[in-house]
Amino acid sequence: MLDPRTPVVVGVGQFAERLDDPDYQHLSAVQLAAIAARAALADTGADVIKVAEAIDVIAGVRQFDISVPGAESPLGRSDNFPRSVASRLGAKPRRAVLEVTGGQSPQHLVNEFAAAIAAGEAGVVLLAGAEAISTIEAYAEADDRPDFTEHADGDLEDRGYGLDGMMSMTLMAHGLAEMPAQYALLENARRARLGLSRSAYADAMGALFAPFTEVAAANPIAASRVVRDATELATTGRPITDPYTLYLVARDKVNQGAAVLLMPLSEADRLGVPANRRVFLAGHADLRERDLMERPDLGSSPAAAAAARHALEVAGIGPGDLATIDLYSCFPIAVFTVADALGLAPDDPRGLTVTGGLPFFGGPGNNYSMHAIAATVERLRGTPGFGFVGANGGSMTKYSAGVYSSTPVAWVADDSAGVQASLDEVPVVTEAEEADGPATIETYTVKYGREGRRRGIVIGRLDDGRRFVAKGPADFLADPATEPIGHRVEVRSTGLANEVTVPVPGTPGTV
């Protein structure tokens, strides 16, 4: 007999619209999320009205246009996203939450509120999120642009941006305000650690993502339903930041929404949710990585690896016991890191995504993993077993993992705090915000503008071991015949930024 407070996922819903759909309606993020939420209520197999009336908490995932300070909402927005969604369902939740920024948000919310349900601190919980980025971009300057502005009554627990430690003035001054550039630095560091050439690593990234395109092609709500082989992924498409082409990065220009409904077993029984709709959270973990410039190894994420392993440990299973797997795929390294930690090959016959992944299914802001959770639940209902969802935020900064089970299992608390304490014991690297002297390139990237402009960025180590970020020589860094990592250079601070300008004369590996 399970504790009546055991948390269970009872309903999931997804919805998407494309600009070229015959019935395209230019829906707002609130409208997209509400449609997905209604689908989640119906997915319970119980009375939709009664389920809506029973919602105790609604938690929303932040849209991109409210994820950083100063961001604009060209078409307007709701001043209370969760309650705007709730009002369309006829729900009047006791509590409304707007989660912090990051792709970890959906799985973190599942973990958090499943624990709250198990502790008797929450009843029926609806999680919802959506993005209308395609519509916003298409209509921002249009004369007939829709107005997404709306007001919703009721209190809101706004948790803020949650960006502490994820960005600094130094990183921004050197062109690292966007995630593709930060991940490119991590990706090249991993490549160098593995001893792979640029072309060999490009082939590996293409081989990793080729199966993702096949899954996306079969997904009716995927943004891109085109099968591409490894060579096409690795060698074609507009360059974004070295080593990424357009096909290797998350596709954020989408209109997609998803929702997940959780409740205690006692409520599922009371509301008449059939047993075959219930999926349990068998394992879970939430961990945080060191800030970017502090990490001992820029090409890995011990926190992401530990979160994945700990979630499986809590569930009492190993990677081989999983029936379905979805690894967050904003960039290849996010997949590689967790796959390596779990011993999963890129061509694992189970696949590493249930949706098609962020570059092909779509990357709806912070909400992608809500779709992964929904798809996992749907798959497990037809394929009994366990499903893994890994959700990543920041520059591999925050990682939340969940293990779902179609077989009833008791709630087991995780020890993420203990694992985090162990991770935090590892010494950090000291940063030199103003760097001068001989140094060695640790990793690099080149950012490509649409007009062919290139901008080189380097992370290096001074001879005293301190790490710095600097502007670098784009021509040298982009040269396919060179290996910048490990080269000796000279770095100088201008007061506004650091610049790698000339090599140290007469030293091996001189640029």
Question: Is residue 506's pLDDT more than 80?
Answer: no
Question: Is residue 34's pLDDT more than 70?
Answer: yes
How are the residues of the chain apportioned to helix, strand and coil, as percentages rounded to the nearest 5?
35, 25, 40
How many Å apart are CA 58 and CA 264, to the nearest integer? 15
Residue 46 burial by Cβ neighbours in a 10 Å radius (0-12, 13-18, 19+): buried
pLDDT in tens, 270-284: 999 999 999 999 999
Note the pLDDT of residue 511: 39
Question: Is residue 435's pLDDT more than 50?
Answer: yes
Note the pLDDT of residue 237: 85
pLDDT in tens, 298-354: 999 999 999 999 999 999 999 999 999 999 999 999 999 999 999 999 999 999 999
Question: Is residue 507's pLDDT more than 80?
Answer: no
Per cent of the chain over pLDDT 70 is: 98
Q: In whole numbers, what is the pLDDT of the chain averaged over residues?
A: 96
How many Å apart are CA 25 and CA 28, to the nearest integer? 9
pLDDT in tens, 228-247: 999 999 998 899 999 999 99
Note the pLDDT of residue 503: 63
Which amino acid is located at 363 in the chain? G
pLDDT-derived band at 510 (thresholds 50, 70, 90) equals: very low
Beta strands in 138-180 (DSSP E): 157-158
pLDDT-derived band at 502 (thresholds 50, 70, 90) equals: low
pLDDT in tens, 418-430: 999 999 999 999 9
CATH homologous superfamily for 7-165+250-424? Thiolase/Chalcone synthase (3.40.47.10)
Segments making up each domain of the chain, as ranges: 7-165+250-424, 437-502
Average pLDDT of the residues in 123-145: 97
pLDDT-derived band at 509 (thresholds 50, 70, 90) equals: very low
pLDDT in tens, 65-109: 999 998 899 999 999 999 999 999 999 999 999 999 999 999 999
pLDDT-derived band at 501 (thresholds 50, 70, 90) equals: confident
pLDDT-derived band at 196 (thresholds 50, 70, 90) equals: very high
How many Å apart are CA 31 and CA 27, to the nearest integer? 6
Note the pLDDT of residue 70: 87
How many Å apart are CA 377 and CA 44, to the nearest integer? 12
Please tell us whether the domain made up of 437-502 is placed in CATH 2.40.50.840. yes
Comparing CA positions, the residue from 507, 444, 488 lying closest to residue 470 is 444
Q: Are 57 and 113 in contact (CB under 8 A)?
A: yes
- Sign of the torsion formed by the C-alpha atoms of 290, 295, 301 and 306: negative
pLDDT-derived band at 163 (thresholds 50, 70, 90) equals: confident
Average pLDDT of the residues in 15-37: 97
pLDDT-derived band at 191 (thresholds 50, 70, 90) equals: very high
Note the pLDDT of residue 450: 78
Note the pLDDT of residue 57: 98
